[in-house]
Amino acid sequence: MKSLTRPTRVVVDQTSAAHRGETYLAYLLLFIALAGDAVRYTVGWYGWAALVAISVTLLAIDFFRNRPTQTLKRVPFLLWAFLGLMLLSALWSNYQLFTLAGFGAQAITTLSALFLVSRFTWHELLRLFSNTLRFILVTSVLLELYAALVVRGPIAPLVTNFIGQPAQTGAADWVQGHLLTGQRIQGILGNANLLGFIALLGCIFFAVEYLIKNTSRWISFGGFGLALMCLFLSRSASIMFAVIAVIASAVVALLAEGRNREDRHRLYRVSWIGAFMAAFYVVQYRDFIFDFIGKAPDASGRGHIWFEVAKLISKRPVQGWGWIGYWLPGAKPLDHLVEVGGVQQYHAHNAYLDITMQLGLIGILLFVPLLVLTFVKLWQLAVRQTSPLYLWPILVFAGILVQNLTESRMLVENGWILICIFMIKVNEPLLPIRESAASDQS
């Protein structure tokens, strides 16, 4: 059966001062969320906090000036309940001030997502994310080239970016300068795993951008090639599994498009069986697989982290230890709970374990159904529409779900803003093709 997918032209009014102002603010918010570490390496924690304060003030004014009632109505009840549980957990938290601070950070990121959802369409969000990711990837490669060709070694942060005790050896550097040696690169994010995730997002966004002709084909193609290079050079095992999940989701979504309900569900059953079998073999033969990709069988020390977190969960299984997000120094018993290679760990390297540890069974039983419901709705959005535009939400979401089996980034900054956008915007009715003000007047 011939695919129904074809480009959809969406034109927006980019001439009004209000739209331009919202667009500039959106770029600022996205850069802070996607490249927060780069901001902190450049202007430090105080500079980062000042930028966040300015951004929050501007977005709150804009968001509440534009009658947010309809957007707030589309926030799922489970998300409200999950956010409420974060705040409520301060009552029994083992680190109450940190819980309040963590909830404040979560509220700011959620408000940023609400602003983006209320002011921009899926098409506009594609453009905003694509341009921001392109900037991050280009500047990452330029920094790595500078380190490799000019400095010929590591580059330290412009402003010390330590939390707690200074990191040891190479962990204190911004980049290592390994671009030409074949070793892992870190980019402006200062972390190979984070760069790998940004590169994965870039591959998805630039591919969809190319398909719908959202910008010059050469710009999209060049961006995809750059993202693919950074994805390879980051050498992140957790991202490798996310890549496999994204490719599998894309293939199944394209095969399902345009088919009748019975054929679609037969394809889904086969796909889920295949996914479970693949997961089983990865666990069963993890020693061989991780040795083949040059990683330790416990995912580079994550097994030890998970064991320690599991012990904490067993002590407070129902309510958890209290919300915190990142494990900030001074929050007992998380402070110095685990050190890998002399470096203190600030999250559980598994978002699902992290939630269970922080908010107990109550939290994870709220969050997992929310993820499942969002996945189903995003999937329906992707396979029931005629434009490849609607593929990027489900592909990004699938990548996040798998990546967070070995990371906890879904709970903070770029991960949280993305999943909040998906959880809320997927409940909006699809808008008709928007025409520009100029064409309306002609």
d(CA 436, CA 428): 21
**pLDDT confidence of residue 25:** 92
Which pLDDT does position 303 carry in this prediction? Answer: 81
User: Residue 303: exposed, middle, or buried by beta-carbon count in 10 A (0-12, 13-18, 19+)?
Assistant: middle
- What's the predicted TM-score (pTM) here? 0.87
pLDDT recorded at residue 341 = 65
Q: Which residues, including other chains, have CB under 8 Å from residue 127's CB and lie 6 or more apart?
A: 209, 214, 215
- Residue 15 has what pLDDT? 62
- pLDDT at 97 (0 to 100): 94
Which is nearest to 253 in space by CA: 204, 194, 292, 210? 204
pLDDT number for residue 7? 40
> Rounded CA gap, 139 and 188, in Å?
7
Spatial separation of the C-alpha atoms in residues 46 and 338, rounded to whole Å: 27
Q: What is the pLDDT of residue 6?
A: 43
426 touches 74 (CB < 8 A): no
* Low-confidence stretches of the chain (pLDDT beneath 50): 1-12, 164-167, 169, 433-442
Query: Residue 437: its pLDDT value, please?
Result: 36
pLDDT at 111: 92
**pLDDT number for residue 10:** 43
